[in-house]
Amino acid sequence: MSVLVRIPTPLRPLANGQKEVQLKGASVREILESLVRDYPGIRERLMDEKGEVRRFINIYVNEEDIRFLEGTKTPIKDGDELSIIPAIAGGSR
Residues that bind another protein (CB under 8 A): 8-10, 19, 44-45, 54-56, 58, 60, 63-65, 67-68, 83, 85-93
Residue 23 belongs to what H/E stretch? strand 20-24
DSSP state at residue 13: G
Which residue, 34 or 60, has its beta carbon nearer to another protein? 60
> Which C-beta is closer to another protein: that of 2 or that of 18?
18
CB of 87 to another protein, least distance (A): 4
| C-alpha separations of 82 from 42, 46, 49, 89, 92 in Å | 15, 14, 22, 22, 30
